[in-house]
Chains A and B, each alone.
Chain A
Amino acid sequence: MTDASKAADVSGLVASVQSPSRRMALQIGLFTVLFLAAAIASGALVASVGGSPTEVLDALIDGSLRSPGAWGRTLVEMVPLALVGVGVVVAFRAGYYNIGLEGQVAMGALGGVVVALEAPGPGFLVIPLALVASVVTGGIWAGLAAAAHARRRVDVLISTLLLAFVAPNIILFLVARDYLLLDTTPLNSRRASQSERIPDSVHLPELNLFGNTVHVGVPITIVLVAVVAFLLARSVWGLQMRMLGQNLLTARRAGVRPGWVGGGALVFSGAAAGLAGGMFLTGAAFRLQDQIANDFGWHGLLVALVARLNAVAVLPVAFFFALLRTGSGFLAATGISRTVTDVVQALFVVAALLPGAIMTIRDRRASRRLAVHSATRVAPAPAR
């Protein structure tokens, strides 16, 4: 063995590994700095159009936390965001870039409304049934893309997206026809394109927490996210998923069937988005119209990105996004358009990308200094 390679072999490593805790601290520091920068940039944007950043912040906090019942509304708003987000984490980890969540949320709501309106029986039976229907229809909508990929190599990224634009049109078609889902009750005398309101018995049961009202979807979502986080880290299924996302060929050799595991991850994310739609329908919206998905799909996708595809982090990030959504309702008084929150969200997404980029550069420099023996290679393409 040569002296040079011995030097590298003493520790067995090609890159000096700094202590994990220091690395963690560095990353947390970077996130803090960049998120602060995003907040400052948001303030600057508000100021640039003549608004007052502090007033805007004040209004956001009023709307989302301080005013009576506000944090309950925020928690309810968090539910679809977290469900969509955790589904995205799973699909992206497996290398399946599902970005058509908005459509899957809408289709989930559609499945839910059909059951909620048509199924007879008591609420405690119909509610779960409606949610199952949401899961199934959301899953099917993503499943179309999974099948197209497995059978015809159609890029998941594009197919999920195209299907997302089709979904609201399907709903629009259904809720505009009186022989289908159009609300024909006298209350809708102007025949607005919407479904009938679902009966009170199929509204999600509510809980009262310190004067705030939340529905059972909130605890259910928290448990679901925790379970998925656990399975991703600790189950064979999670390991296979991560293998697939990082090295398709090794995964296949080790017995991972891309169609089932990867396609499964894609369907799972669709099902989670469907559930988000179902919960929004039975917990907050109570009737179907074409814009039912209400940007939960897009924002949930962003939640997963800001959470850096970490399932546990999805909950706090979803809560933060929910704050912006509920808080934006209080912005009218400040004279600033509520659309400012869209910019704030996007800035945070961009800020979330940068720590990874900076760490990559650091690691690359470190390994370039040391990796004499490793061959040049292109990283394997992610499955699409």
Chain B
Amino acid sequence: MAAPVLELRSISKRFGPVVACDRVDLTVQPGEIVGLLGQNGAGKSTLMKIVLGLVPPDAGEIRIKGQARTVRDPTHAAAVGIAMVHQHFSVIDALRVWENVRLGGRGRLDAAELRAEVLALGEAYDLVIDPDARVGDLDASQRQRVEIIKCLRRDPAVIILDEPTSVLTLAESRRLFDGLRAMVSSRERAVVLISHKLEEILHATDRVVIMRNGRVVEEIATCAADPPTLARAMVGRDVSLRTEASALGLLDELTGKAVTDHDQGGEVVLRVSGAAATGSDGRRLLDGLDLELRAGEILGVAGVEGNGQAAVTELFSSLLSLDSGEVEVDGRVVPTGVPGAMAAAGVGVIPEDRHVSGCVLDLTVAENLILADTDRVTRWGILDRARIRTHAQELIDRFEIATPSADIAFRLLSGGNQQKVVLARELSSDPKVLIASQPTRGLDVGAIEYVSSRIRAAADEGVAVLLVSTELEEILELADRISVIFRGRLIGTMARSEIDLDRLSLMMGGKAA
């Protein structure tokens, strides 16, 4: 066997009391696709950040093509043969494709040469893209192509892909995996595929390495693996593929699940008709979105990232005003884009990124718990500290928020507990409608289960829930009805019991209605 292209020996990294990587060994041979499987927080991302030079390791050795290396930064990583396709945030909207491809790379800034390179790489790997397009104008899968081309241009020995399918439809994912196969088969290249989804690991890799709690716990050839073994290794205990299928990314288990359609006799509490909105850059965000939501039901809005999900959340956070169309809550029209109007009308929101619009990091936990509803703790415009404290303590107990005190800065809480604070605040104000946007993103399995059960419980108590997510698993787990969002409108709605994965995935690609 040839020398490994990448060899990690006993890599360790601690963040204070937390061990992110504990003596991790990993070997990648040229020509293979290695799956790195693990839950959120298992240490996969930290490990790859170490390889990429974004995080310095505490101990251990990185050998690349047989040579020990200290990787200083991503540019250096690229120079020695490691490149990464990031899940989010690594191409820049305002720049053109050829400029993005060059960013952080080497060589002169020669437009003609770079254009030619983009075209050539596109041709070679079936990743066709216009080199002069502005990245901001591209859709998610096209942007990913730019990412991959940017990676390939550095001619890496190892390509790392971090959760690459979260922005793709099922069909696009399959096409991506075919492309990866082409990359490793004909060249002296290897691919590391980071994922928490059993299914795609089984589908796309040669060998799978499973991490848990910062350690490598299992390493087997993919052909010898089966879902129960992988799942057990990943979670660390026997799991029911059925009940935890969502956390494990098992679509088939989810669709096969016996379901009874919820009683849909509730009143319509949220009605959106003909909603259209334009972004500040003139792009269409919503384009005639219609929606009806009944008390006590969970409507899942599935779709590939970038089809208007963000605009939906913004709309219900009063951050977006409509060009035309209407939002009615409980039969009353609510003005859009007027600060506080949606909250006042009884719409709770769990935003996709709580740091952007869900909390104020430097206020205290107690203050964050009353942000949207100061009236109940106010007398003549003065905040009643005693009441704020009792209110906070009650919610901290009820939602099992782990914090030493209600008076410490929100910033200091861990991610799971921050999300609980947001959840507690939004649910405690007795909303009629709850908008949950990717509510479990970035949380570990325990926290995912907690958040999911709270959302389910809210629906059972009569709250109308709109669940917006790009993770099909999350939607299949919770939703009573499912709609697909495509280019700013909802296309087709189906009941939970009549889900057909193929049809759903076609709709997510905009193919059928």
> Considering the complex, which residues of chain B in the window 75-95 have a beta carbon less than 8 Å from any beta carbon of chain A?
89
Which one of B125-133, B270-278, B355-363, B498-506 is at the A interface?
A: B355-363
CB atoms of A250 and B360 under 8 A apart:
yes
Q: Is B41 close to A, CB under 8 A?
A: yes
CB atoms of B416 and A9 under 8 A apart:
yes
CB atoms of A4 and B417 under 8 A apart:
no
Measured CB to CB, the nearest residue on chain B to A13 is B412
CB atoms of B412 and A250 under 8 A apart:
no
Docked CA distance A237–B380 (Å): 11
Q: Is A309 close to B, CB under 8 A?
A: no
Q: Is B296 close to A, CB under 8 A?
A: no
CB atoms of A239 and B383 under 8 A apart:
yes
Docked CA distance A245–B302 (Å): 35
- Given the contacts A17-B408, A234-B383, A242-B363, A370 and B317 also touching, CB distance less than 8 Å: no
Docked CA distance A254–B372 (Å): 4
Q: Is B27 close to A, CB under 8 A?
A: no
CB atoms of B417 and A12 under 8 A apart:
yes
CB atoms of A8 and B414 under 8 A apart:
yes
Q: How far is the CB of B274 from chain A (nearest CB, A)?
A: 24
Chain B neighbourhood of A247, CB < 8 A: 356-357, 359-361
Q: How far is the CB of A230 from chain B (nearest CB, A)?
A: 9
Q: Is A362 close to B, CB under 8 A?
A: no
> Considering the complex, which residues of chain B in the window 177-224 have a beta carbon less than 8 Å from any beta carbon of chain A?
212-214
Q: How far is the CB of A295 from chain B (nearest CB, A)?
A: 32
CB atoms of A2 and B42 under 8 A apart:
yes
Measured CB to CB, the nearest residue on chain B to A237 is B381
B359-376 to A contact mask, C-beta < 8 Å, 1/0: 111110001000110100
CB atoms of A372 and B18 under 8 A apart:
yes
> Considering the complex, which residues of chain A in the window 220-270 have a beta carbon less than 8 Å from any beta carbon of chain B?
234-237, 239, 242-243, 246-247, 249-258
Q: Is A185 close to B, CB under 8 A?
A: no
Q: Is B256 close to A, CB under 8 A?
A: no
CB atoms of A235 and B382 under 8 A apart:
yes
Q: How large is the interface on A (under 10, 10 to 19, 20 to 34, 35 or more residues)?
A: 35 or more
CB atoms of A252 and B89 under 8 A apart:
no
Docked CA distance A282–B360 (Å): 43
Measured CB to CB, the nearest residue on chain B to A12 is B402
Q: Is A16 close to B, CB under 8 A?
A: yes
Docked CA distance A239–B18 (Å): 34
Chain A neighbourhood of B356, CB < 8 A: 247, 249-250, 377, 380
Chain B neighbourhood of A375, CB < 8 A: 353, 355, 415, 442
Chain B neighbourhood of A366, CB < 8 A: 16
CB atoms of A2 and B213 under 8 A apart:
yes
> Considering the complex, which residues of chain B in the window 1-41 have a beta carbon less than 8 Å from any beta carbon of chain A?
14-20, 39-41
- Given the contacts A11-B404, A17-B412, A247-B360, A4 and B20 also touching, CB distance less than 8 Å: yes
Q: Which residues of B come within 8 Å of A, CB atoms?
A: 14-20, 39-43, 46, 89, 212-214, 317-319, 339-344, 349, 353, 355-363, 367, 371-372, 374, 378, 381-383, 385, 401-404, 408, 411-417, 442, 444-447
- 5 more A-B contacts (CB under 8 A) besides A246-B362, A252-B339, A369-B14? A239-B367, A239-B374, A247-B356, A250-B358, A252-B319
